[in-house]
Chains A and B, each alone.
Chain A
Amino acid sequence: TLLGFILTDLQITPRALKKMLSNATMRSFNCISVDGDMSTNDTITMIANGAVETNKPVDIENAQVFNEVQENVTSFAQQLAQLVVRDGEGSTKFVTVKVLNSLNFNDAKTIAETISNSNLVKTALYGEDANWGRILCAIGYSKLNDIKSLKPEKLNVSFVATDGSEPKELKLLINGVPNLDLDEKRASQILALPDLEILVDLGTGSEKCQFWTCDLSHEYVTINGDYRS
């Protein structure tokens, strides 16, 4: 179960707070996956108590201030959401799945979520196996709203290192064609990192979505085979 609360001493009107939290959740807590299961109790609450004195409360009408606070709340919520993924039961890796250049946001999110929830992708990540075929497979069965979002000949998939080492990006699929010169040694180096990125460029539009997931380990089974008892 995911539970959380965000508290602030800024004064924000109820309607602005509702919009802010909803927007932040869409880009943070609703973009994480440990095991693909949804709880009956998931709740994120936010309270703004106005203890910091301001001339007037933050409201939707004052777009400049509203947008600034909304941006801060969203990046803050992302930090909190990412900690949940880092604690993913039995996990050893934190993985960012980035889908770029999608025809629409919903399909970018669907693809990112499908990759993030694939048990076979997640076990490959745990085993540090550069099994890009499983990523492709997950993209292919994603339940897209618009089939035009995915054109195989425009699809690029890469692993990206996050530790500053070079080459940062290792291309696995280039314009729909597998990279036959794949540097397996470099692939192993990237997959050995505790933090890494899977980059999917759909090349069909300009929308993007990020999801955060983790690997799936033996430990996950151990923890969850004995919870209620």
Chain B
Amino acid sequence: KEKIPINKYSLYVPKCGVFPKGFKVGSIASGVKKNGNLDLGIIVNTNTKTPSSASAVFTTNRFKAAPVLQSQRVLQETKGSNINSIVVNSGCANSITGEIGLKDAKSMCDIVNKQLKSDKPSTLVMSTGVIGQKLQMDKIEKGLVEIFENKKILGDDFEHWLNVAKSICTTDTFPKLVTNKFRLSSTGQEYTLTGIAKGAGMICPNMA
């Protein structure tokens, strides 16, 4: 049977959104993706009044990629306190890359920590893309430095958030961005949740 293609982008991508206070996000095309699309994103917590909390769930696949192992290590070390950034690249999964992959995943965190002037581990890292290839760290490092140096790249408006959602896509046909405000019934306090995800194939997660 002939099927009419669905324009999923127009159906599921929002045109505006509300975002949590105290976060800045940025993305760049570092050149890891051959087609020149955005492939490197970062989320930074700019709120210094209270310590942040972080948590994560990870694949239960026995072959965990280097960024999974690195992020697990950071969360164990910090017990989920004072994590102030997440760095994500697409195009290369940094998976099944051995010692070099672990070193590269740690380097990604170190570069961000240095930019944020943090002498403690405060960055989590994620990667997605082709398995079994080394990260092009020269491109990643250059891209990360540019994100922090170019004031226009790091921001908190809708376009910045949408671009981060785009920067983590691989075979996705649309970026996945959800935002919502909630009010606590007991205190009346309003707060915001923003979520970004990527994924279209190799999807049946069982994370813990």
Residues of A within 8 A of B (CB): 1-18, 20-22, 25, 29-30, 32-55, 57, 64-65, 68-69, 72-73, 76-77, 79-81, 83-89, 92, 113, 116-117, 127-128, 194, 217, 220, 223-224, 227-228
**Are A14 and B80 interface neighbours, CB within 8 A?**
yes
1/0 contact string of B182-208 vs chain A (CB within 8 Å): 101111011111111111111111111
Known: A51-B22, A65-B186, A223-B201. A42 touches B59 (CB 8 A): yes
Given contacts A32-B204, A54-B187, A69-B182, 4 further A-B contacts (CB under 8 A): A10-B189, A34-B200, A49-B45, A88-B203
In contact, A227 and B130 (Cβ under 8 angstroms): yes
Q: Are B205 and A32 in contact (CB under 8 A)?
A: yes
A44 to B11, CA, bound (A): 24
Chief secondary structure at chain A's binding surface: mixed
Known contacts A21-B56, A32-B204, A49-B47; A8 and B191 CB within 8 A of each other:
yes
Looking at B174, B182, B201, the one whose CB has the most chain A CB atoms below 10 A away is B201
Distance of A182 Cα from B34 Cα, bound (Å): 52
Can you pick out 18 interface pairs between chain A and chain B where the beta carbons lie within 8 Å of each other? A7-B194, A9-B21, A9-B191, A10-B189, A13-B53, A17-B55, A21-B55, A22-B55, A34-B201, A41-B68, A45-B55, A51-B47, A51-B50, A76-B180, A81-B197, A83-B176, A92-B3, A224-B201
**Is A2 a contact partner of B199 (Cβ separation < 8 A)?**
yes
Contacts of A10 in B (CB 8 A): 189, 191
Judge if B12 is at the interface, Cβ distance under 8 Å: yes
Given A69-B184, A227-B130, also A35-B201 (CB < 8 A):
yes
Q: How far is A217 from B5 in the complex, measured between Cα atoms in Å?
A: 12
The size of the chain B interface, using a CB distance under 8 A, is 82
Name the distance in Å between A215's Cβ and chain B's nearest Cβ. Answer: 10
Contact indicator A1/B130 (Cβ below 8 Å):
no
A6 touches which one: B63, B71, B96, B193 (CB < 8 A)? B193
Which residue in chain B gives the minimum CB-CB distance to A15? B80
Question: Which residues of B sit under 8 angstroms from A51, Cβ to Cβ?
Answer: 20-23, 47, 49-50
Known contacts: A3-B198, A7-B194, A89-B200. The answer to whether A49 contacts B52 by CB under 8 A is yes
Contact of B186 among A64, A73, A127 (CB under 8 A): A64
Q: 8 nearest interchain CB pairs?
A: A51-B22, A50-B50, A14-B80, A4-B197, A34-B203, A9-B20, A42-B59, A51-B21
Cα A7 to Cα B197 in complex, Å, equals 12
Residues of B within 8 A of A (CB): 1, 3, 6, 8, 11-12, 20-23, 43, 45, 47, 49-61, 63-65, 67-68, 71, 79-81, 83, 86, 88, 93, 95-96, 124, 126-131, 168, 170-174, 176, 178, 180, 182, 184-187, 189-208
Residue of A38, A43, A86, A128 touching B126 (CB-CB under 8 A): A43
In the complex, what residues of A have CB within 8 A of residue B208's CB?
22
Question: B65 to chain A: which residues have CB within 8 Å?
Answer: 40-41
Closest CB of chain A to B135's CB: distance in Å? 13
The listed residue (B93, B168, B171) touching A89 by CB distance below 8 A is B171
Contact partners of B64 in chain A: CB under 8 A = 40
Q: How far is the CA of A45 from the CA of B201 in the complex (A)?
A: 20
Q: Is A77's CB under 8 angstroms from B204's CB? A: no
What residues on A are CB-neighbors of B190 within 8 Å?
52
Inter-chain CA distance A16–B11, complex, in Å, is: 35
Cα of A72 to Cα of B181 in the assembled complex, Å: 10
Known pairs A41-B93, A49-B22, A52-B21; A89 contacts B201 (CB<8 A): yes
Instruction: Please state if B205 and A38 are interface contacts (CB–CB under 8 Å).
Output: yes
Chain A residues contacting B196 (CB-CB under 8 Å) are 4-5, 80
For residue B67, which residues in chain A have a CB less than 8 angstroms away from its CB? 41, 43
Q: Does the CB pair B203–A33 fall under 8 Å?
A: yes
Contact A83 B178 (CB under 8 A): yes
CB-based contact B130/A45 at 8 Å: no
In the bound assembly, the distance between CA atoms of A151 and B23 in angstroms comes to 52
Contacts of B59 in A (CB 8 A): 38-43
